[in-house]
Structure 1
Amino acid sequence: MIDESNGYESIADLYIKWRGRAVDGIGSSTVRAWALPLNKGSVILDLGCGTGIPVTKILLDEGLTVYALDASPTMIESFRENFPNVPVACESVESSPFFHRSFDGIIAVGLIFLLSEETQRALISKMAAVLNPGGRLLFSAPLEKVEWKDTMTGLLSRSLGAEQYRALLSAAGLSIVGELVDEGGNYYFNAIRLTSIAIKP
């Protein structure tokens, strides 16, 4: 059976204990700064939401409307305890019906580099296609092209590197408005959808 959580279901209890309750954890200030320019009520998709802390909580605190997604059942159970009124689904980014609607923003912290190169490429295009004009995308991935074993799951992670991510964002019709580094040294790509694009069937 394929583990759509990329190993995180097997270590979910440990993750929740170590990281899933840190309201002001590493990256919080970066997420908050990204959320500030968005209009109140803007609809945001949080990919790889985990427990919802800190990312979903920050988005809600900023007055945004959040939909959330994670492939770990244990993470989703914790998320629902934390945010019972937020629409959340236990699904993979490859198969989620959430991509049948549009969003004003999409955020993916600690997710993209867990995926295969092919899935990363497809996901960037997929995210871009469901962003409204003016919609924003923020995702984290190492600046360099590199592969490593995830410290918690032991599974292979991979960054395509900044050059590839920039090219993929541009090809998907997004314009990079900034690249950020948080207090933990994590790198983020911040892009915006300037115009509408035709979504292929």
Structure 2
Amino acid sequence: MDFNDILPAYDRVADHWAKTRNTSLFEVGALTAALDGQKDATVLDLGCGSGVPIAAWFTDQGCAVTGVDGSKRMLDHFRGNLPDARAVLADMRGLSLGQQFDVIVAWDSFFHLSRGAQRTMFPVFKAHAAPGARLLMTTGPSDSEAMGQVGPEPVIHASLSPDAYRALFAEHGFEVLWFRPEDAEFHGHSVWLAQRSGGIA
């Protein structure tokens, strides 16, 4: 398994993933912080999966959600769950929507990219972030590479070091608001919240 196998793996496991994905909204504290009280916000969900529970939560808050996934089968579930949301079949690594968003989310998706691809995602984040936009994403807690499992499929994860991420955020005009590594509230996820320059933290 290498990083190019991720999207085909999620195509094969999409039905299982949609049935078994934790929908308890343990992420809600992070989602609320990313939205920061905005009304009618535009949200870009990168690696949106089935849209439940994250994109669905933003939709329930009155946001206009664009879901992007490179797995057609995952996006089929997204369209079924959120028929009024915009769904885009695309690999996030080459994304160019020509639109800026108030919130960008990459929850449990960005960390499936290689270290090199993660670095080249920061210009993509910048291009799609409106002034003051908040970016919420999960990584590993430290520089690492590991194998995981989704249903019967092995999946690979990678992470840079926190210092490397901080440097990339700063280089591309984002201020880190907080980093919570292996946080119990978020079921052990390591979560970043950053804000694009031009807004008030």
> Partner of 1:151: helix, strand, or coil?
strand
> Partner of 1:155: helix, strand, or coil?
strand
RMSD: 1.9
The answer (yes or no) to whether the contact 1:68–1:88 under 8 Å persists in 2 is yes
Q: Which amino acid aligns with 1:32?
A: T
> What is the TM-score of this pair, normalised by structure 1?
0.87
Alignment-derived partner of residue 157 in structure 1:
157
Alignment-derived partner of residue 191 in structure 2:
188
> What is the TM-score of this pair, normalised by structure 2?
0.87
Q: Number of residues paired by the alignment?
A: 191
Structure 1 residue 126, shift from structure 2 partner: 1.4
Could you tell me how far apart the structure 2 residues matched to 1:28 and 1:54 are? 9
Q: Which amino acid aligns with 2:118?
A: Q
State which drifts further: 155-164 or 107-116: 155-164
Equivalent pairs: percent with the same residue?
A: 27
Flag the 1:183–1:96 CA change in 2: closer, same or farther, 3 A.
Answer: closer
Q: Provide structure 2 residue ranges, at least 5 long, that are not aligned to the other structure.
A: none
Structure 1 residue 118, shift from structure 2 partner: 1.6
Alignment-derived partner of residue 120 in structure 1:
118
Structure 1 residue 50, shift from structure 2 partner: 0.4
Alignment-derived partner of residue 29 in structure 2:
29
Structure 1 residue 17, shift from structure 2 partner: 1.6
> Partner of 1:14: helix, strand, or coil?
helix
> Partner of 1:135: helix, strand, or coil?
strand
Structure 1 residue 161, shift from structure 2 partner: 2.1
Structure 1 residue 64, shift from structure 2 partner: 1.4
Could you tell me how far apart the structure 1 residues matched to 2:132 and 2:102 are? 7
Alignment-derived partner of residue 14 in structure 2:
12
Structure 1 residue 38, shift from structure 2 partner: 4.1
Deviation per CA, 1:75-113, whole angstroms, max 9, x where unpaired? 111111111010011111023342x21111100000111
The answer (yes or no) to whether the contact 1:143–1:162 under 8 Å persists in 2 is yes
Could you tell me how far apart the structure 1 residues matched to 2:106 and 2:167 are? 18
The answer (yes or no) to whether the contact 1:6–1:115 under 8 Å persists in 2 is no
> Partner of 1:5: helix, strand, or coil?
helix
Q: Which amino acid aligns with 1:85?
A: D
> Partner of 1:119: helix, strand, or coil?
helix
Q: Provide structure 1 residue ranges, at least 5 long, that are not aligned to the other structure.
A: 197-201
> Partner of 1:164: helix, strand, or coil?
helix
Alignment-derived partner of residue 92 in structure 1:
91
In proportion to residue count, which structure has more strand? 2
